[in-house]
């Protein structure tokens, strides 16, 4: 399913290509159409998937992926995934995310909850953060076995919950991790995976400030993480992925360096893949670097040893 495309014959007021354009008459033109496919779309036979409604007002939903389970009472780690797209594009129902999150669920043997948050600029920041926080609380409500979703009640292991996201989704995931202690000890955030995170320090800074009219300026801790917030990161392990040709790479590396020295008592690793650009793993999931990335992600979730040191570039 694709959204109905309309056009404006007015002048452009703000051009944030390749994300979106805003016209003087208020029309918003996305440079990438929003496409949504059903849960069954190209789903591996080893998985089940369905869409769930988290709240009706505001409308927040998610797509859940669960591996086929042989034993009735088996427990699996829970992965909360937050998609990227500059806060303005994409959806967990997009074919790209349908395929990628399904792959993670299959390879890591986890229950994956892929969050649908409302997009800016129609819904300005902090809407994406707050919708994702509501979704995280909804997931946590299943920790006692009495939530709304049977798959999570029966098979979710809430001592092994992971947050993951790419680009803007990685930014949101970090901000959730800073707040997550308020929902513990209902569930334990075992780790966080940030793929090509979108933080302050690139030519895209202007877009974030446009999408967040009520911002804290250059010191807004949601976009430029503050040391005191980073020290409250509510998990013991973090894995940061960077791409050598990504214009967000330097900001991601700065985040990694600051997290190591902010007083946080966890362990953080960083992996940089040379010769590839932003979210290459979504666009070319079968390339050598993307396969390496998936292997490391799965190893991180399952706490398996990584053969190559984080100091290496791939």
Res 308 pLDDT > 50:
no
Indicate the helix (H) or strand (E) that contains 261. helix 249-261
Q: What is the pLDDT of residue 184?
A: 62
Domains of the chain: 1-31 (no CATH), 33-302 (3.40.50.1820)
Please give the share of the chain, as a percent, with pLDDT higher than 70: 93
* Distance separating alpha carbons of residues 158 and 283, to the nearest angstrom: 31
40 catalytically annotated: no
Higher-confidence residue of 4 and 109: namely 109
Tokens at 195, concatenated: 């793929």
Active-site pick, 159, 167, 182, 254? 167
| pLDDT for the residue 186 | 77
What CA–CA distances, in Å, run from 114 to 40, 72, 223? 15, 24, 22
Binning pLDDT at 50, 70 and 90, where does residue 8 land? low
| Whether residue 3 has pLDDT greater than 60 | no
The residues pairing with 147 across neighbouring beta strands, listed in sequence order, are: none
Which tens digit of pLDDT belongs to each residue from 47-62?
999 999 999 999 999 9
């Amino acid at each position: 399913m694709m959204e109905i495309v309309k056009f404006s014959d007015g002048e452009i007021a703000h051009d944030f290509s390749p994300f979106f354009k805003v016209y003087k008459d208020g029309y918003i033109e996305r440079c990438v159409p929003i496409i949504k496919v059903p849960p069954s779309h190209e789903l591996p036979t080893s998985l089940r998937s369905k869409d769930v409604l988290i709240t009706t007002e505001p409308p927040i939903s998610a797509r859940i992926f669960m591996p086929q389970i042989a034993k009735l009472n088996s427990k699996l780690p829970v992965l909360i995934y937050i998609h990227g797209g500059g806060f303005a594009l994409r959806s967990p129902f997009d074919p790209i995310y349908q395929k990628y999150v399904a792959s993670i669920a299959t390879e890591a043997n986890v229950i994956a909850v892929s969050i649908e948050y409302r997009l800016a600029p129609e819904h300005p920041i902090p809407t994406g953060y707050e919708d994702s926080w509501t979704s995280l609380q909804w997931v946590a409500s299943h920790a006692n076995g009495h939530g709304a979703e049977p798959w999570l009640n029966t098979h979710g292991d809430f001592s092994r919950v992971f947050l993951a996201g790419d680009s803007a989704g990685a930014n949101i995931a970090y901000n959730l991790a800073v707040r997550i202690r308020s929902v513990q000890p209902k569930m334990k955030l075992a780790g966080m995976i940030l793929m090509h995170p979108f933080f302050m320090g690139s030519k895209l800074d202007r877009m974030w400030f446009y999408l967040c009219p009520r911002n804290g300026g250059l010191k807004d801790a949601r976009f430029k993480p503050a040391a005191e917030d980073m020290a409250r990161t509510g998990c013991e392990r973090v894995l940061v992925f960077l791409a050598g040709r990504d214009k967000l790479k330097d900001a991601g590396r700065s985040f990694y360096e600051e997290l190591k020295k902010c007083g946080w008592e966890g362990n953080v690793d960083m992996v940089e893949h040379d010769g590839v650009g932003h979210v290459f793993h979504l666009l070319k999931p079968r390339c050598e670097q993307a396969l390496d990335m998936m292997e490391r992600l799965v190893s991180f979730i399952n706490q398996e040893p990584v053969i190559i040191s984080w100091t290496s570039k791939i």
